[in-house]
Amino acid sequence: MADVSLQTRLNPLAEKLKLRLDEDQLMNCMRCGFCLPACPTFRETGIEAESPRGRIALMKAVADGIMSPDEVFEEQMNHCLGCRACEPACPADVKYGQLIEQARDAIEDHTEQHRWWVKLARGAAFELMFPNQNRMRWLGKGIRFYQKSGLRTLARGIGVMKLLPKPMRDMEKIMPDASSHGVVEQIGTRHPAKGEKIATVGLFRGCIMDVLFTETNIHTVELLMEAGFEVVIPDTQNCCGALHAHSGEAEGARALARRNIQVFKDAGVDYIISNAGGCGAILTEYDHLLHEDPEWKEGAAWFAERVLDCSDLLVRYGRLPGFSEDESKKPVKDSEPVRITYQDSCHLRNVMRSSDAPRRLMRQVAGVEYVEMMEADRCCGSAGIYNLVQPEMAGQILDHKMEHVKTTEAHYLLTSNPGCLLQMKNGIEQHGLSDRMKAVHIVDFLHERMCSGCGSK
């Protein structure tokens, strides 16, 4: 038998994992396997180590000193999408999301030998860009210049794009027009409710959202005002920290969380509203992120319990505006209603536990037929930057998703998260469906069909 204490002593990563992994959560897993059918990577491969139960067993084996973490161990952790579909399926309430973040944090801490360009890219993204809204704005300006100045046409014409890896080429093709001015620069920070005020809400504008989907942020504000909410958009808010937390940069995520808590507290809001499932989910988990920080623990709990997705706020507390039929958007045949379907955002569904509210809103739109897509609750393969770093698995998952998308014969494929939206646009393009189907954020769809008289900036 191997000398386990010696093994652990010799492997610094094992030491780090042992310290970081929550032993209670590891022990809670009773190996029942109820989570297996919910897991996309297990469904694609059929391999136990690619399942939540398998990954937890690997973590436990390392924490117990039975196994030494090697490259294969790291690969299994990195193959996980972090979609957290395993959590609602688990009868023991194992917090898998926390375990995988702890494992990745330890791995990242241990990895001093990143290739130089990975180091550079991570440093630029996690330290320079995401934490700084002004730099994100400059990024937006840069992308817009590239898109509008003719540079993009030139780059495509002379074949520069061919030098990029395929997943990046695909993304470049479907990238929406970036905005050089964010939501605050365009419409200001405070917006009164229409009619009697129900509550004051703070909009979490996001960083990618505010560069690539600024219009959606503006539409969110207008939808909320119409439903009776005063909307405040604190201008000094930051990135939510989701990409940091999911990439093993827990301390970076904590620093961002502290700044956001302070900013929204100072704004005196009743609710904090997100229109991006990926951001919303980490915002609801600030209490866990800072649970070991005595100075911020209370503020983090205050913040986390106020976070809601836009659809949930509208359905639970809002005076819903009428969502009318839009004649100009009718499909070719007059008699046909507009058919729509919906792809759940994993984090909205599995972490924020919100799946009913968006469906209720969509069903209220006049002249629209809502079709439930088979396995709409399954990940689309986007998962933050997973589709860029694990293109093979992400591609397989997307292909399966698109088979279900096709059978809905929908004209609109709605989503509640920018990553899912881009992935769905990518799937529509790759599967030759762009002549009959469009991927749209649910807020934009509802906004377009709001009753007359609303939507004035």
Residues that bind ligand SF4 (CB under 6 A): 29-35, 38-41, 52-53, 55-56, 80-86, 89-90, 92, 94, 96
> Which of 81/261 has CB closer to ligand SF4?
81
Of the two residues 102 and 237, which places its CB atom closer to ligand SF4 in the complex? 102
229 φ/ψ angles, rounded to the nearest 5 degrees:
-110, 140
When the beta carbons of 55 and 401 are compared against ligand SF4, the nearer one is 55
Q: How far is the CB of 116 from ligand SF4 (least distance, A)?
A: 29
Tell how strand 338-342 and strand 271-274 pair up.
unpaired
In contact, 89 and 38? CB cutoff 8 Å: yes
Nearer CB in complex with ligand SF4: 213/386:
386
* 3-class state of residue 368 by DSSP: strand
> What is the chain's percent helix, strand, coil content, to nearest 5?
55, 10, 35
Least distance from ligand SF4 to the Cβ atom of residue 349, Å = 12
Quick count: other Cβ atoms within 10 Å of Cβ 224? 27
Q: Cα 439 from chain centroid?
A: 16
Burial level of 301, CB count in 10 A (0-12/13-18/19+)? Answer: middle
Shortest distance (Å) from residue 425 CB to ligand SF4: 22
Residue 20 vs 84, nearer CB to ligand SF4: 84
CB closer to ligand SF4 out of 96 and 229: 96
Contact assessment for residue 441 and residue 313, using Cβ atoms and an 8 Å cutoff? no
Mapped onto helix, strand or coil, the DSSP state of residue 135 is: helix
- Nearer residue to ligand SF4 within complex by CB, 179 or 390: 390
Query: What's the Cα-to-Cα distance from 171 to each of 41, 388, 418, 423, 441, rounded to whole Å?
Result: 22, 9, 13, 8, 17
Least distance from ligand SF4 to the Cβ atom of residue 115, Å = 25
Q: How far apart are CA 88 and CA 34, in angstroms?
A: 10
Residue 411, CA distances (Å) to 233, 247, 325, 445 in order: 33, 35, 14, 12
At its nearest, how many Å lie between ligand SF4 and the CB of residue 24? 13
| Shortest reach from residue 384's CB to ligand SF4, in Å | 12
Q: How far is the CB of 57 from ligand SF4 (least distance, A)?
A: 9
